[in-house]
Structure 1
Amino acid sequence: MTEAEMRAPRADAARNRDQLLAVATRMFMSAEAEPSMRAIAREAGVGIATLYRHFPTRESLVDAVYRDQVVRLTSGARELLDRMPPAEAMRRWMDLFGDWIAAKNGMIDTLVAMIESGEIAHAQTRGELLAAITAILDAGRAAGDLRSDVTAEDVADSLIGIFTVAPRREHDAKAARLLNLLMDGLRPVA
């Protein structure tokens, strides 16, 4: 067996980890309070030992979900731009951002403690998200379908405001309406 084969996780282990991440994300998005590790394992259809083998602490699970969501947001910007016009990509990306915010709400206590302790670099995450927004804005400016005077910070701050007053799981219709109004404001004045 080669060294790479010895380090690569078995297919079933990789599936279990992916399943645990997906279930934890879904549960964090819909939870009023942080779900227990046991509830996450049960919902994923694995034993608690399997969960702890992949994520030895709640913090390691929260970190993995948080990082996975950031990757989905940053890669999502590129993927959306590859498939649709920039203004449409921006609006779809806003929905991804809303999902990220919703997932954070279900793990907020652990997440805040991790940010305060320095385990998660909030500034780095913000930089990655601003770069994703900038990529969409730049493409939109070049195409003429997004305003040239809007910054990534403007968009990020607006999104945080929208999802503060209209959390996704409780107010989907209100959030969608506010996001559409924001998009109207991002389009160039004719």
Structure 2
Amino acid sequence: MRADARKNRDHLLAVAGTAIAEQGVDVSLRDIARRAEVGLATLLRHFPTREALLDALLRTSFEELTAQAGELEASSSPEEALATWLRDCVAWTTEYRGVTVLMAAAIEDAESALHASCVTLRAAGARLLARAQAVGAARSDIDGADLFALVAMLAWLGDQPSLAPRADHLFEVVAGSILTSAGSGGVRVEPPSSGR
């Protein structure tokens, strides 16, 4: 890709990220183009569909969260790794309003542009969960799919204006329910910091 095309693409992604954080994933593509001061045709040349735009916007974050899981496996106790990753994953999903609905649909749809990234992210969380379960630090009756659903549920709470004030407390309740007292070693489960 030429340098000017890369610059235009990066600008569109930055503008789209801001628009989605403010208005949610259903923000008009025309509005994104207007904010970026380009025509809709220019936006569509770079990102022919809404899902292609979202995939490009979210892929880096998915990759960072997946890489973080690997780093936490190597540097933290199993319970600390799981608690930290869960907190950061929920915090990230609340940055973009409505992204949890897309993630939940994409993980079941192999044709979705977001499918592979969601599956990889779920697998990273599942590894952290299994590692914590192996030392008795996490309950044994949940799996990676459950953990992914809990992330989506906790992020959804943050998207609801009437429930958002309860989101931090409920995060602590849910995370505390995942980690068992036998293996948690006193790990304090901090709620995610809101991206908004």
Q: TM-score, normalised by structure 1?
A: 0.66
In structure 1, stretches of 5+ residues that fail to align are: 1-8
1:155 has 2:147 as partner: yes
Q: Which residue of 2 aligns with 1:70?
A: 62
1:56-81 CA-to-partner distances (Å, cap 9, x unmatched) read 34343134335444334323322444
- After superposition, where does 1:8-157 map in structure 2 within 5 Å? 9-31=1-23, 34-43=26-35, 45-48=36-39, 50-81=42-73, 84-94=76-86, 95-100=88-93, 103=96, 105=98, 119-120=111-112, 124-141=116-133, 144=135, 146-147=137-138, 149=140, 150-157=142-149
Number of aligned pairs? 177
Greater percentage in helix: 1
Q: Aligned pair in 2 of structure 1 residues 146, 121: CA closer, same or farther (>3 Å)?
A: farther
2-side partners of 1:116 and 1:135: how far apart?
Answer: 20
1-side partners of 2:52 and 2:169: how far apart?
Answer: 35
Following superposition, the deviation at residue 117 of structure 1 comes to: 8.4
Identity %: 31
Q: Aligned pair in 2 of structure 1 residues 158, 52: CA closer, same or farther (>3 Å)?
A: closer
2-side partners of 1:185 and 1:179: how far apart?
Answer: 10
The answer to whether the Cα contact below 8 Å between 1:34 and 1:106 also exists between their aligned partners in 2 is no
Q: Aligned pair in 2 of structure 1 residues 128, 34: CA closer, same or farther (>3 Å)?
A: same
Alignment-mate amino acid for residue 180 of structure 2:
P
Measured on the aligned residues, the alpha-carbon RMSD in Å equals: 3.9
The answer to whether the Cα contact below 8 Å between 2:69 and 2:124 also exists between their aligned partners in 1 is yes
2-side partners of 1:78 and 1:137: how far apart?
Answer: 12
The answer to whether the Cα contact below 8 Å between 1:74 and 1:132 also exists between their aligned partners in 2 is yes
Q: Aligned pair in 2 of structure 1 residues 155, 56: CA closer, same or farther (>3 Å)?
A: closer
Q: TM-score, normalised by structure 2?
A: 0.64
